[in-house]
């Protein structure tokens, strides 16, 4: 092909991509959905409010906006998740757990809700509560293989070396890199010594 033909093809392809992008919906289907006939507040509202908290310019204004979003529409799971996350960051663990539990009751298929609840329970040292939550995350999505590792760590912390070894061994094929793989092998070896 000549260089002139290649340039024409590139221009046509660029125009085609531009047209596709121009006519694509600007909102995801999930941000336009309705639950029980109530339109959910746009996710961008929650994101804008969360941005105010995260950028540190006026965090309380962002929190108040997130609370207002939730007051208008308690089904806005994105805003609920942000409020739970900010509760964790501010050390209000009980409030975060309460909000995550509410989210998972309201939207039982909220993988983020279950995962983050499991993480908060784990970080709080509530290993007997965290372990079944990680198991539930794995049932929901077997691709969340980190849940296997955390289940193993919970079992280890609860004194169940045999269960921990089995879960760590199940995680090994999914270890994202050799350093993690080697680290988990060391954990298994140390547990076998005990």
Please report the pLDDT score of residue 120 as a whole number. 96
58: left (phi over 0), alpha (psi -120 to 50) or beta: beta
Based on the fold, state whether residues 57 and 104 are members of the same structural domain.
yes
**Residue 7 within any structural domain of the chain:** no
CATH number at residue 72: 1.25.40
The residue-averaged pLDDT of 80-87 equals: 86
Same domain, 102 and 139: no
Measuring CA to CA, which residue among 70, 126, 80 is closest to residue 101? 80
Average pLDDT, stretch 70-99?
A: 87
Structural contact between residues 90 and 59, judged by C-beta atoms closer than 8 angstroms: no
pLDDT tens track for 19-36:
333 333 333 344 444 555
Specify whether 156 is located in the same domain as 192: yes
Close Cβ partners of 70 (under 8 Å, ≥ 6 residues apart): 76, 79, 80, 83
Domain count, the chain: 2
pLDDT tens, residue by residue, 143-166? 999 999 999 999 999 999 999 999
The verdict on 153 and 193 lying in the same domain is yes
Q: 10 Å Cβ neighbour count for 151? A: 28
Which residue range forms the structural domain that includes residue 70? 41-108
Is 32 a member of any domain? no
pLDDT at 4: 59
Evaluate whether 32 touches 43 at the Cβ level (below 8 Å).
no
**103 and 136 share a domain?**
no
pTM for the predicted model, two decimal places: 0.70
In a domain, 85, yes or no: yes
CB 85 within 8 A of CB 97: no
In a domain, 12, yes or no: no
What is the C-alpha to C-alpha distance for residues 159 and 154, in angstroms, rounded to an integer?
Answer: 9
């Amino acid at each position: 092909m000549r260089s002139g033909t290649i340039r024409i093809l590139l221009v046509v392809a660029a125009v085609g991509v531009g047209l596709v992008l121009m006519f694509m919906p600007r909102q995801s289907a999930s941000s336009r959905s309705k639950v029980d006939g109530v339109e959910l507040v746009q996710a961008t509202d929650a994101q804008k409010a969360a941005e105010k908290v995260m950028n540190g310019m006026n965090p309380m204004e962002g929190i108040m906006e997130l609370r207002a979003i939730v007051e208008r529409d308690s089904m806005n799971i994105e805003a609920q998740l942000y409020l739970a996350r900010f509760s964790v960051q501010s050390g209000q663990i009980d409030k975060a757990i309460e909000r995550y539990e509410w989210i998972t009751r309201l939207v039982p298929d909220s993988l983020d809700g279950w995962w983050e609840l499991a993480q908060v329970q784990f970080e709080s040292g509530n290993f007997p509560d965290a372990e079944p939550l990680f198991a539930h995350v794995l049932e929901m999505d077997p691709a969340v293989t980190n849940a296997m590792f955390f289940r193993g760590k919970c079992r280890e912390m609860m004194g169940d070396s045999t269960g921990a070894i089995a879960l760590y061994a199940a995680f090994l094929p999914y270890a994202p890199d050799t350093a993690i793989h080697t680290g988990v092998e060391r954990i298994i070896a140390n547990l076998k010594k005990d």
